[in-house]
Amino acid sequence: MNTEFDITETLDVTGENCPMPVIKTKQTTDGLAEGDVLEVVATDSGSMSDLKGWANTTEGVELLDQEESDNGGEAVYRHYVRKTE
């Protein structure tokens, strides 16, 4: 777990494929306050590029970090998004 920032909320989109991780991340960040950090947990490898691209082209959010880990043979991708406005 990343300790550089405090996670406000965790969104579990494991088992979901494109475009659902991005759609659900957007819906969740819309309900956050400025400065809140959302942790998104996904199993779709495409979420690494999809969420990065979404954050880079969306006002009001910042992608803080992305991590890949192994959970018993299945890759798990964690994304950390801060609401900036």
Task: For residues 15 and 3, give the distance between their C-alpha atoms in angstroms, rounded to a whole number.
Answer: 26
CB-count burial class (<10 Å; 0-12, 13-18, 19+) for 15: exposed
**58, 76 contact by CB (below 8 A):** no
- Per residue in 24-70, pLDDT (tens digit) is 999 999 999 999 999 999 999 999 999 999 999 999 999 999 999 99
Q: Which domains does the chain have, with CATH numbers?
A: 9-83 (3.30.110.40)
Task: For residues 40 and 14, give the distance between their C-alpha atoms in angstroms, rounded to a whole number.
Answer: 9
18 an active-site residue? Answer: yes
Full-model pTM = 0.93
Q: Which of 18, 20, 48, 64 is catalytic?
A: 18
